[in-house]
Structure 1
Amino acid sequence: MAYRKWWRVALAAGVVALVAAGCGSGGGSDSGASSVENAAPAQGAPPAADKPGAEAAAPDAGAPVKYRLDDRAIVYTGSITVRVEDVSAAAAEATSIATGSGGFVGGDKRSSTDAYAEATIVLRVPAPKFTAVVDQLAKLGDQQQRDVSTEDVTEEALDLDARISSQRARVDSGRRLLAQAKTLSELVMLEGELAKREADLASLEAKKRRMDNLTALSTITVTLLGPEAEAPVEEEETEIGFLTGLKGGWNALVGALVVLLTVVGALLPWLVALGLPVVGALWLARRLRRRRIQPVPASPSAVTQPHP
């Protein structure tokens, strides 16, 4: 009995020791993990919200990319018509306004007579000063017409940049392959391919330069009218619809009839002068032919008697 009692006590003590050892190891792991987490911020690790996998810092994948106004590529184009007292003086002042803003004159066309004077000047000015230059030009005299338009070419510019980068990589790859060519056939083939890639790259770069030129320098067409010159008439909007089509068809029919009657009136004297003699000649020829083919009646003696 005493042996069984001591055996039970030893078994219970062993179980308690095992449980205590397990709790101690678990507490050690927790403390180790907490120490690592506490040490991470001290070493300069980003907080949980700034980690790439954190949900709070993840951007909206479906949100469109937004650009600031300064980052967008916009082409400004404008035209303005101003009536002035002296066209030559106003043209010189318009040129001075353009050059003073950092631009230049892209075209200059003038015409003058005793009755009127007119000048059309094409100005290229920096895009940031486009509005200010147009306002200064309007003060040269009495503004008759103003037309300003803008075109956003940001997407086209970004697409060109991406295509140029890709094409440059292709050109570099072709040059490396050309340097490694070992046979004459490979050399000829790679030279042709490299020439084609370089031509495509040059074309893309030329398009990019033209686009940069349009976005950097805006175009303003200034029309200066003298006191006696006529102002340009604005084009009317094109009308559509059933009544418009009916009106157009009726006008076309009337125009066609007028042309037809004009042609008939022009040809009628010739028909009278040439047609009557021709008709008379044909009638006379027909009468003569009828007389020639008319049968002659037979005489009674010429009739043969029947034999008995």
Structure 2
Amino acid sequence: MTKDRASRRGSAAVAALVALLVLAGCGSGRGGDDSGAAGTAADAVAPAQEGAAAAPGEVAAPGKAQAGAGAATDTRVDQRAIIYTGSIRVKVDDVETAARDAVAAATRAGGFVGGDQRRSADADAVAELQLRVPADRFYAVVEDLAGLGRQERREIDTQDVTEETIDLDARITSQRARVESARRLLAQATSISDLVSVENELARREADLASLEAKKRRLGDLTALSTITVTLVGPDASTADEENQIGFMVGLSGGWKVFLASMTVLFTVLGAVLPWLLVFGVPLGALWWLSRRRRRSRPVEPALVAPAGTPPPPGVSAPPPVPGARSAP
């Protein structure tokens, strides 16, 4: 009898755990805060099932840790997570040589080349390089790139992601605790339905944890390695200021370019239509010419004209006399 009661109590406890897991999964779709609260409530059941009573303060530990981390944020510049991005345009005498020097500057700083696009046309050559360099060497590499020639443009942007990094760390810690709690519940499942429900909840929590860790790795990559986009142009390459000029010669040049483009389109269309004209237009034109020639070669029948003064046939009234006309003798 005592064993039956104990088994019944164990089944009831497992059923209550599964119900709490279902409620936690439903509440997680309403936002990050609700998900954390539901997960904390579900996670608090595992120690109780094992016989260890958890204090209310211990249940809210992840939330307190997150709040404490936000309050104790270090405001020193060297301890903050900052993303540096910059772009620079430099006019050089030899684009290929300058591009090799730019790559060498990034390599010496401990970085690498993330992208390389070049258009070689002698003095009108253009090379666009995307360099990834360590954050502490960002400004030094920018100055090295500016010294390759005559700097035309420089843009530097910074983004402070310290608070976002701290928030991600706290969410990852809390999510790992929820995954471990779900794994303990999975080991205690006694029925197929309970096993399936706990496995689904564990898979969802592990997917959320993997997503948070991927965001953390991406953020760490952006803060550790800064991005510099350098554009190297030849001495004859047009600049943005030259393209925005106005005047008669600029308008004439633009009109001539538009005219050439229009003629190109016209000849393209003509070339596409010409085969159809040769296949269908020539036979149709020949048929039209032959039919017209045949109509012209037919003899014209003379019209029957009654001589003057001939009376009209019976039943036909004579036309009225024309005023001023002389009658026939």
What interval of TM-score do these two structures reach, taking the shorter chain for normalisation? 0.5 to 0.7
Does the C-alpha gap of structure 1 residues 179 and 235 become closer, same or farther in structure 2, counting only changes over 3 Å?
farther
Task: Report the Cα distance in structure 2 between the residues aligned to 1:223 and 1:87, rounded to whole angstroms.
Answer: 10
- Match of residue 219 from structure 1: 227
For residues 39-64 of structure 1, the C-alpha deviation after alignment (integer angstroms, 9 at most, x for no partner) is xxxxxxxxxxxxxxxxxxxxxxxx98
Query: 1:285-296, aligned counterparts within 5 Å?
Result: none
For the pair 1:190 / 2:195, whether they are aligned, the reply is no
Question: Does the aligned pair in 1 maintain the 2:123–2:234 contact within 8 Å?
Answer: no
RMSD: 1.9
- Match of residue 157 from structure 2: 149
For residues 121-146 of structure 1, the C-alpha deviation after alignment (integer angstroms, 9 at most, x for no partner) is 00000000000000000000000000
Does the C-alpha gap of structure 1 residues 196 and 76 become closer, same or farther in structure 2, counting only changes over 3 Å?
same
- Match of residue 168 from structure 1: 176
For the pair 1:231 / 2:255, whether they are aligned, the reply is no
Question: Does the aligned pair in 1 maintain the 2:89–2:153 contact within 8 Å?
Answer: yes
For the pair 1:85 / 2:85, whether they are aligned, the reply is no
What's the offset of the Cα at 1:210? Answer: 0.3
Question: Does the aligned pair in 2 maintain the 1:225–1:231 contact within 8 Å?
Answer: no
Task: Report the Cα distance in structure 1 between the residues aligned to 2:212 and 2:241, rounded to whole angstroms.
Answer: 40
- Match of residue 79 from structure 2: 71
Query: Residue 179 of structure 2: SS of its match in structure 1?
Result: helix
Q: Letter of the 1:161 partner, please give it.
A: D
Query: Residue 140 of structure 1: SS of its match in structure 2?
Result: coil
What's the offset of the Cα at 1:70? Answer: 1.7
- Match of residue 118 from structure 1: 126
Any unmatched runs of 5+ in structure 2? 1-70, 245-329
Question: Does the aligned pair in 1 maintain the 2:74–2:80 contact within 8 Å?
Answer: no
For the pair 1:158 / 2:166, whether they are aligned, the reply is yes
For residues 236-269 of structure 1, the C-alpha deviation after alignment (integer angstroms, 9 at most, x for no partner) is 9xxxxxxxxxxxxxxxxxxxxxxxxxxxxxxxxx
Q: Letter of the 2:200 partner, please give it.
A: G
Task: Report the Cα distance in structure 1 between the residues aligned to 2:224 and 2:174, rounded to whole angstroms.
Answer: 25
- Match of residue 207 from structure 1: 215
Query: Residue 116 of structure 2: SS of its match in structure 1?
Result: strand
Identity of matched residues, %: 64
Question: Does the aligned pair in 2 maintain the 1:76–1:150 contact within 8 Å?
Answer: yes
Task: Report the Cα distance in structure 1 between the residues aligned to 2:77 and 2:159, rounded to whole angstroms.
Answer: 13
For residues 198-224 of structure 1, the C-alpha deviation after alignment (integer angstroms, 9 at most, x for no partner) is 000000000000000000000000000
Question: Does the aligned pair in 1 maintain the 2:82–2:162 contact within 8 Å?
Answer: yes
What's the offset of the Cα at 1:230? Answer: 1.3
For residues 55-110 of structure 1, the C-alpha deviation after alignment (integer angstroms, 9 at most, x for no partner) is xxxxxxxx985422121000000000000000000000100000110000000000
**Under a length normalisation based on structure 2, what TM-score does the superposition of the two structures give?**
0.51
Greater Rg over alpha carbons, structure? 1
In the TM superposition, structure 1's runs of 4+ consecutive aligned residues that sit over 4 Å from their partners are 63-66, 233-236
What's the offset of the Cα at 1:115? Answer: 5.4
For the pair 1:109 / 2:117, whether they are aligned, the reply is yes
For the pair 1:177 / 2:185, whether they are aligned, the reply is yes
Task: Report the Cα distance in structure 2 between the residues aligned to 1:190 and 1:235, rounded to whole angstroms.
Answer: 65
Query: 1:269-284, aligned counterparts within 5 Å?
Result: none
Question: Does the aligned pair in 1 maintain the 2:129–2:230 contact within 8 Å?
Answer: yes
For residues 111-170 of structure 1, the C-alpha deviation after alignment (integer angstroms, 9 at most, x for no partner) is 022551000000000000000000000000000000001000001000111110110000
What's the offset of the Cα at 1:231? Answer: 2.0
For the pair 1:137 / 2:145, whether they are aligned, the reply is yes
Question: Does the aligned pair in 1 maintain the 2:123–2:235 contact within 8 Å?
Answer: no
- Match of residue 239 from structure 1: none
Does the C-alpha gap of structure 1 residues 65 and 180 become closer, same or farther in structure 2, counting only changes over 3 Å?
same
Query: Residue 85 of structure 1: SS of its match in structure 2?
Result: coil
